[in-house]
Amino acid sequence: MPPEQFQKQLLAWFDIHGRKDLPWQQNISPYRVWLSEIMLQQTQVVSVIAYFNRFVTRFPTVQALAEAGLDEVLQHWAGLGYYARARNLHKTAQLIAGNNGEFPQTVEELSALPGIGRSTAGAILSIACGQSQSILDGNVKRVLTRFHGVRGWPGETKVATRLWRISSEYTPQKRCGDYTQAMMDLGATLCTRSKPRCTSCPVIDGCEAYKLNLTSQLPEPKPRKTLPVKQVFFLVLQDRQHRLLLERRPPAGIWGGLWSLPEFADRQQLRDWCLQQDYQLSEPTELPVHRHGFSHYQLEYIPILATLQNPINYVMEANSAVWYKPSDIHSLGLPAPVKRLLQHNYLEDHDDKND
DNA sequence: AAGTCGGGGAT
DNA sequence: ATCCCAGACTT
């Protein structure tokens, strides 16, 4: 889609559906836009509104902010988090006050100030000064990765560079402030991270992610370096006929509905469960830890081997458990690591001639 | 390129 | 519970 058409459709949508009643959208000035942009870094709109109003009531101008003490500035920031933002805000206010209260009018000079990066500088210049400058915040990243079907994590330098280029290609020469606001509104209200409302989107006809049904896959999340490790204990319990105890897993979650070994978060829960089931065990043997990799985590499991010493109380098992001959487990469709564990320990035909 | 800062909302 | 949010800065 040509940039002119994208801008036209986006701005037409913004005129009807865009947010125009936020506190920092009234009495627009470089100071108020700057303050709002800093407060909105990594912070959601609903959380900022009250802080912004209290802040501009106490510090109506950049001069007032510069003349205040840092401790009072921090007091008005308390609860917003990322307190380096408040310290940088105060420092930058003093720099600007020393410049006769005038904000720099270039991206280079603005982003040289403490706490102002490239995107914040672009937002200030486009919204407060009417300059044709692009931004790339979380909303615009999400909108553009989807619209252009950009693969890869946006935090990666290569991907971010490409997104900056796309962002600048779509930035108009006219209505620059409205365009910047519109892109953020689109990302915040329609092109949301989960369950985007694509049918209401003004640029759906050019969206690559919508066309390829990839909206739920984009933008790609930060790649996990080391997968989280989840540790569990598997009880490998045999009765005196050498049958193995299997349990049906809950219908949802990993291995949903499959038969598997009873699983516990730790040794104590295993003991408690045996007590509750009226299982009297032999002295348990712990096998070395095994690992099984899933796409989203690593399962570390420790098999605990034991033999049942008392007769089975079938009433308590209530059909959620079953005792299976080791030679028959292959017909059961067990989870792969469980099957491997049982085969390795009970189905090796090395010395079970007399059984 | 990766780590840090932070309270709060969404899921 | 985890992930993410109108990011910027340091290591």
A353 touches strand B (CB under 7 A): no
Contact indicator for A344, A290 with CB cutoff of 8 Å: no
Nucleotides of C under 7 A from a protein CB: 3-9
The protein residue nearest nucleotide C7, judged by CA to C1', is: A41
Whether the model clears a pTM of 0.85, i.e. scores above it, the answer is no
Geometric angle at alpha carbon A199, from A194 and A204, rounded to 5°: 95
Residue intervals in chain A for CATH 1.10.340.30: 3-211
| Domain covering A3-211 in this structure, CATH number | 1.10.340.30
Q: Which pLDDT value is given to residue A352?
A: 35
Provide the residue count of chain A. 355
State, as a whole number of angstroms, the distance between the CA of A55 and the C1' of B7: 18
The answer to whether A110 and A124 have CB atoms below 8 angstroms apart is: yes
CA gap A289, A291 in Å, rounded: 7
Question: Alpha-carbon distance A125 to A130, whole Å?
Answer: 6
**What tokens were used for A63?**
């001069």
Contact A262, A273 (CB under 8 A): yes
SS3 A233: strand
Q: What per-residue confidence (pLDDT) applies to A296?
A: 67
Q: Which residues of A89-118 are buried (b: 16+ CB within 10 A; e: fewer)?
A: bbebbbebbeeeeebbeebeebbebebbeb
CA A234 / C1′ B6 distance in Å: 39
Does the domain spanning A229-354 belong to CATH 3.90.79.10? yes
Q: Which helix (H) or strand (E) holds A77?
A: helix A70-77
Whole-number Å distance between alpha carbons of A108 and A296: 41
As annotated, the residues of chain A forming the CATH 3.90.79.10 domain(s) are 229-354
What stretch of H or E contains A79? Answer: none
**pLDDT, tens digit, 9 for 90 and up, residues A158-214:** 999 999 999 999 999 999 999 999 999 999 999 999 999 999 999 999 999 999 999
Question: Which protein residue's Cα is closest to nucleotide C6 at C1'?
Answer: A40
Angle at which helices A157-170 and A3-17 cross, to 10°: 80
| Phi and psi angles of residue A210, each rounded to the nearest 5 degrees, phi first | -65, -40
Q: Going residue by residue through chain A, which has 355 residues, state the pLDDT in tens, using 9 for 90 and above.
A: 999 999 999 999 999 999 999 999 999 999 999 999 999 999 999 999 999 999 999 999 999 999 999 999 999 999 999 999 999 999 999 999 999 999 999 999 999 999 999 999 999 999 999 999 999 999 999 999 999 999 999 999 999 999 999 999 999 999 999 999 999 999 999 999 999 999 999 999 999 999 999 999 999 998 876 666 788 999 999 999 999 999 988 776 778 888 999 999 899 999 999 999 999 999 999 999 888 877 667 788 999 999 999 998 777 676 678 999 988 887 887 898 898 899 888 754 333 333 2
Q: For strand B, is any atom closer than 7 Å to the CB of A216?
A: no
What's the rounded Cα separation, in Å, for the pair A36 and A124?
Answer: 10
* Secondary structure class of A167 (helix, strand, coil): helix
Q: Give the C-alpha separation, A203 to A183, whole Å.
A: 11
Containing H/E element for A269? helix A267-276
Separation between Cα atoms, residue A194 and residue A245, nearest integer Å: 42
Find the nucleotide nearest A136 (Cα to C1′). Answer: C6
Q: Of residues 53 to 92 in chain A, which lie within 7 A of strand B by their beta carbon? A: 79-84
Q: Active-site residues of A: which are they?
A: 37
Q: Is A64 left (phi over 0), alpha (psi -120 to 50) or beta?
A: alpha
Q: Which residue has 């009970």 as its token pair?
A: A346
Residue range A4-32, pLDDT digits in tens: 999 999 999 999 999 999 999 999 999 99
Amino acid at position A113, single letter: L
Q: Return the pLDDT at A318.
A: 65
Report pLDDT for A313: 78
